[in-house]
């Protein structure tokens, strides 16, 4: 017993459990030990991942929008199925032969980068709120400067969104 005092509590617990199982086998035989093990498992269920831990391990997609703007966006945006179809058409355009990038190509690249950041390779995997976010990003990219300024207030980082819009609207001359 003196040796147990020098061990950590975890080691002592495991050792005592093994001693208890060995003692149960010795005294009660195989059937008695199995019945004690079954009773123990029913009283102390096996520890596994809890629903709280599972939701914590799922990576939440970082939203580009302020939490307070989601309700306003839902009210002003079209139906998510219409948006999905439009975005699918925009992002699935045939690239064909090498050519200069059009405005649609540039916007599709921006939206693809957002999808990559969300770890969602397909539009069908997105929630309705995420589809609306992409719709708002596309709308901001195509907007006039005044409208873009108004739409930027929906975003967590309005200056970054306006800078991205300005970079697409005024490409650097080579």
pLDDT of residue 57: 47
What pTM did the predictor assign? 0.62
Instruction: Provide, rounded to the nearest whole percent, the portion of the chain with pLDDT above 90.
Output: 38
**CA gap 20, 23 in Å, rounded:** 5
The residue ranges of the chain whose pLDDT is under 50 are 2, 56-58, 174
The answer to whether the beta carbons of residues 164 and 141 sit under 8 Å apart is: yes
- Per-residue pLDDT, 165: 92
């Amino acid at each position: 017993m003196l040796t147990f005092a020098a061990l950590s509590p975890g080691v002592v617990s495991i050792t005592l459990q093994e001693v208890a199982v060995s003692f149960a086998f010795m005294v009660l035989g195989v059937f008695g030990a199995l019945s004690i093990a079954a009773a123990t498992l029913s009283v102390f269920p096996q520890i596994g991942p809890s629903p709280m831990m599972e939701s914590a391990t799922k990576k939440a997609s970082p939203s580009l929008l302020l939490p307070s703007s989601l309700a306003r966006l839902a009210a002003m945006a079209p139906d998510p199925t219409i948006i999905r179809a439009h975005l699918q058409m925009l992002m699935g355009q045939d690239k064909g032969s090498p050519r200069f990038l059009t405005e649609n190509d540039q916007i599709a690249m921006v939206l693809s980068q957002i999808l990559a950041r969300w770890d969602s390779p397909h539009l069908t995997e997105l929630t309705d709120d995420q589809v609306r976010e992409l719709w708002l990003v596309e709308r901001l990219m195509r907007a006039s400067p005044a409208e873009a300024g108004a739409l930027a207030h929906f975003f967590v980082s309005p200056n970054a969104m306006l800078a991205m819009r300005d970079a697409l609207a005024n490409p650097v001359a080579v």
